[in-house]
Structure 1
Amino acid sequence: MRRFTSFEARIDALAHRVLDRLPAHGLAGALVEFVVFGLKQAWACLFGGVLLALIIATHYLWPQNAFLARYDFLFLAALAIQMVMLAAGLEQPSEAKVILIFHVVGTVMELFKTSAGSWVYPEESFFRIAAVPLFSGFMYAAVGSYLARISRIFDMRYTRYPAFWMTLALAAAIYVNFFAHHYTVDVRYGLFAATALLFARTSVHYRVFRFRHRMPLLLGFLLVALFIWFAENIGTWSRAWIYPDQSGGWTPVSISKLGSWYLLMIISFVLVTVVHRPRTPDKAPLENVRAGAGQADAAL
């Protein structure tokens, strides 16, 4: 797996020419790592960030009687963003495959959930299947795009990662429960427990700028799920879709939805690992961790 696209490699070279002159340790060194971390996160969110910005902008600016429906514009815009990112070298072809997989998986879930009344899309559109506008699949794809891009941009490695078939089985069980709980017992608490048991000892090692850092993978899942929950609040506030209790006016999305996004994160992460298989840290950094190097593994 190439860590950077050709465009990103040019940005990286330019960044090094500036940042290599700055101190590597102390408060200044920590500040450099923090700033680079934020910039890389923003870059990984490129597709989802642009799509969310368009959702907000069209909420305010889209004419009510326009020839092209707002949802149709969002669908065509999402397609255009993808083509531009690929053509400009902002995204790898493997990441586009992940986005396609997520679009299919997400659209199937949307078809079921809207038919069950879990949420609705209040506006009309041409590009739709039943009650689901096709742009909605790209919202799931944005999660896949972020996870795929962050995996390579941060050169993520894993220690004590569970057997691949176990993660596939867990993701499949979570996906089935999203449908089955409407007819049988909701086993999400059992799935939370299974996730904790499976990934309890797993750490993710990621390179920011000069150093590698690490955190428990379960904490990473929770932080990303929280970020998505915030984005969902923005999406429902912009009336891209609404829950039944928001039909009379916007209210914050229930915090209970954070659990749903946490489980969806597991599905998303496992699907990304089908394309970008989890790798272990290089030998030297791993030895430094065992020797008690703390959060920073080693300058690479």
Structure 2
Amino acid sequence: MRSSLSQSLNKGELRVGKRLDHALRQLVRFGWQQALSCVFPVVIFASLALTQFLPLPWLPRYDWLLLICLAMQVWMVRSGLETRDEVKVITVFHLIGLALEMFKVHMGSWAYPEEGWTKVNGVPLYSGFMYASVASYLCQAWRRLKVDLVRFPPLWLVVPLAASIYLNFFTHHYWIDVRWWLSALVLLVFWRTWVTYEVGGKPYRMPLSLSFVLIGFFIWIAENVATFFSAWRYPNQSDGWHLVHLGKISSWLLLVIISFLIVAALKRVKGQRE
């Protein structure tokens, strides 16, 4: 009796141990794929840190950052880390980001206080690559993890929603801020939408809205790192670095939603053509 009970306990412990080992291996695989997808953002943040403390010859810091970003973009294409189609998507995000940056700097939302030859209307051109790096991550993670969308809403509903979110970044300076209404609308529209992905050949899934929140939260963490290394400054950081307000998570959340919807829409259009 005791022998059979002991054997069953040992088998149970063995099964639990195998499950934990498998879960750990899957977590490592998932983390590795995420790390590969984050190559561009990592290079940007590493450049922000290094250029903050190292003496830079010949050119101002912002100009060096632009050259580093351009060199990184060329290397990623030639090395095969990014496809030409992905570069087209990233370029769209670069232009969208620059337009938003110029407006926000003009309105005093934040500032780039350092000098630079490649500043336009107070905005250094390298800043567009910070938005492009988000698109780079989404494109690469989509390809590496074989992302797919289940019950994705029709484009006639998705496109106006993404456009409204983007326009609210501009119009809330002159009108009411409807970000929370838009966030509620996102939850309503994507309530039944799931994102599926593969890790080590095994399929997983999660609600699409949850993935928005997770990515937005990690971008907020990255924003704190960026402002610490003086990538830009908010008004309350003029006399020294402070933690970025938690309310900014909602802004990044909406930006992630725009980014994801644009990438998803382009992927869907391309898939239909093929």
Q: Verify same fold: TM over 0.5.
A: yes
Question: Could you say if the C-alpha distance between residues 220 and 210 of structure 1 is closer, same or farther in structure 2, counting changes exceeding 3 Å?
Answer: same
Q: Using the alignment, how far apart are the partners of 1:266 and 1:27 within structure 2?
A: 33
Segment drifting more, 113-122 vs 266-275? 266-275
Report what 1:143 is aligned to: 134
Question: Could you say if the C-alpha distance between residues 80 and 240 of structure 1 is closer, same or farther in structure 2, counting changes exceeding 3 Å?
Answer: same
Confirm or deny: 8 A CA contact 1:104 1:137 kept in the other structure. Answer: yes
Instruction: Give 1:126 shift.
Output: 0.5
Question: Could you say if the C-alpha distance between residues 61 and 196 of structure 1 is closer, same or farther in structure 2, counting changes exceeding 3 Å?
Answer: same
Q: Does 1:50 align with 2:43?
A: yes
TM-score when scaled to structure 2? 0.90
Q: Using the alignment, how far apart are the partners of 2:143 and 2:159 within structure 1?
A: 21
Amino acid at match of 1:115: H
Counterparts of 1:233-244 in structure 2, within 5 Å, are 233-244=224-235
Counterparts of 1:168-187 in structure 2, within 5 Å, are 168-187=159-178
Q: Using the alignment, how far apart are the partners of 2:69 and 2:115 within structure 1?
A: 18
Report what 1:59 is aligned to: 52
Q: Using the alignment, how far apart are the partners of 2:156 and 2:129 within structure 1?
A: 27
Confirm or deny: 8 A CA contact 2:155 2:265 kept in the other structure. Answer: no
Counterparts of 1:93-242 in structure 2, within 5 Å, are 93-242=84-233
Q: Does 1:32 align with 2:43?
A: no
Q: Using the alignment, how far apart are the partners of 1:278 and 1:194 within structure 2?
A: 23
Confirm or deny: 8 A CA contact 1:72 1:125 kept in the other structure. Answer: yes
Q: What SS does the aligned partner of 1:118 have?
A: coil
Matching residue within 263, 267, 286 for 2:258? 267
Report what 1:86 is aligned to: 77
Confirm or deny: 8 A CA contact 2:62 2:115 kept in the other structure. Answer: yes
TM-score when scaled to structure 1? 0.82
Q: Using the alignment, how far apart are the partners of 1:57 and 1:95 within structure 2?
A: 28
1:194-238, Cα deviation, whole Å (9 max, x unpaired): 111011111111001130111111110000001100000000000
Question: Could you say if the C-alpha distance between residues 48 and 239 of structure 1 is closer, same or farther in structure 2, counting changes exceeding 3 Å?
Answer: same
Identity percentage of aligned residues:
46
Q: Using the alignment, how far apart are the partners of 2:270 and 2:74 within structure 1?
A: 29
Report what 1:20 is aligned to: none
Q: Using the alignment, how far apart are the partners of 1:243 and 1:203 within structure 2?
A: 36
Superposed CA RMSD:
1.5
Q: Using the alignment, how far apart are the partners of 1:212 and 1:279 within structure 2?
A: 23
Q: What SS does the aligned partner of 1:219 have?
A: helix
Unmatched tracts of structure 2, length 5 or more: 1-17
Tell me the matched-pair count. 254
Q: What SS does the aligned partner of 1:212 have?
A: strand
Segment drifting more, 86-95 vs 71-80? 86-95
Report what 1:296 is aligned to: none
- Kindly name which structure, 1 or 2, has the bigger radius of gyration based on alpha carbons: 2
Unmatched tracts of structure 1, length 5 or more: 1-24, 281-300
Question: Could you say if the C-alpha distance between residues 242 and 53 of structure 1 is closer, same or farther in structure 2, counting changes exceeding 3 Å?
Answer: same
Bigger helix share: 2
1:173-202, Cα deviation, whole Å (9 max, x unpaired): 011110000001111111011111011111
Amino acid at match of 2:171: A
Instruction: Give 1:275 shift.
Output: 2.9
Instruction: Give 1:278 shift.
Output: 8.5
Q: Using the alignment, how far apart are the partners of 2:97 and 2:243 within structure 1?
A: 23
